[in-house]
């Protein structure tokens, strides 16, 4: 399973989601203070993402001239601004732009639920998703599935799809991640089968989970 540590980009995306939920005009003093504190966190996360992007670019051999061009400044100015950023923390995994195995991740999610391990599932969710899909909501649905069809046995026929329903092979996952993907699997229980679907954002984090009877698999939200 892929590690659940947040990247600077994931942290920035989650903070922006929280900020949008507060609205453009805080309605009271407490919310105004919250908005200011949140803005500081967003600024820090954006800076961390910027520095991480420059570090990866330099580790991959991108010149200071090219980085300067991206900012509309000289290579000397780019070096002066970012020259102290270390690239030693950029591991081989980051350098190779590793493929995220969403097929295994999709199956693992339902295997974790079968063991009552909501915590491992939550670690793969975005902040917003974890606020909506609470432990009670998710496990209540799973318990109902078990009550109707018996104990979980396995997952099968797992596929990864783009928004238009096109199947994606593992070697091409990163090419499509920017637009988000959906994992679909057949969840096999002692006395019946269910359809499990997991929506992922561009970073491979979970944005939604569905468990439905195959006969009801029409007009799903994702």
d(CA 15, CA 27): 19
pLDDT at position 93 is 44
pLDDT given for residue 34 in this prediction: 81
| Alpha-helical runs (H) found in 115-177 | 118-122, 127-132, 135-149, 173-176
Q: What is the pLDDT of residues 116-151, one digit of tens each?
A: 999 999 999 988 899 999 999 999 999 999 999 999
Whole-angstrom Cα Rg for the chain? 21
Is the pLDDT confidence value at 21 over 60? yes
Residue with the larger pLDDT of the pair 169 and 123? 123
| Tens-place pLDDT, residues 71-94 | 899 999 999 998 888 776 555 444
Domains along the chain with CATH numbers:
8-83 (no CATH), 102-216 (3.10.450.590)
Strands, DSSP E only, in the chain? 152-161, 181-189, 192-200, 206-212
Express as a percent the part of the chain with pLDDT over 70: 79
Confidence check: pLDDT of 96 > 50: no
CA distance 210 to 216: 11
pLDDT at residue 179 is higher than 80:
no
Total H helices, total E strands in the chain: 10, 4
pLDDT band (50, 70, 90) for residue 23: low
How far is Cα 31 from Cα 214, in angstroms, rounded to an integer? 44
Q: Report the predicted TM-score, pTM, of the whole model to 2 decimal places.
A: 0.58
pLDDT for the residue 124: 92
């Amino acid at each position: 399973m892929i590690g659940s540590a947040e990247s600077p980009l994931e942290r920035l995306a989650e903070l922006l989601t929280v900020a949008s939920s507060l609205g453009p005009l805080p309605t009271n003093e407490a919310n105004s203070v919250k908005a200011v504190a949140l803005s500081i966190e967003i600024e820090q996360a954006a800076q961390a993402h910027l520095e991480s992007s420059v570090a990866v670019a330099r580790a991959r051999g991108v010149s200071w001239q090219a980085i300067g061009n991206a900012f509309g400044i000289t290579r000397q100015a780019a070096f002066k601004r970012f020259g102290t950023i270390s690239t030693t923390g950029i591991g081989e995994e980051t350098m190779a732009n590793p493929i995220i195995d969403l097929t295994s991740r999709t199956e693992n999610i339902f295997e974790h639920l079968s063991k009552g391990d909501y915590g491992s599932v939550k670690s793969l969710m975005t902040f917003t998703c974890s606020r909506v899909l609470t432990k009670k909501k998710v496990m209540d649905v799973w318990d109902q599935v078990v009550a109707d069809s018996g104990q979980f046995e396995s997952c099968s026929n797992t596929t990864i799809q783009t928004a238009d329903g096109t199947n994606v092979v593992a070697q091409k996952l990163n090419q499509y991640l920017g637009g988000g993907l959906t994992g679909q699997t057949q969840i096999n229980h002692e006395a019946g089968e269910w359809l499990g679907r997991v929506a992922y954002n561009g970073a491979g984090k979970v944005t939604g989970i569905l468990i439905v009877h195959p006969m009801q698999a029409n007009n799903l939200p994702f």
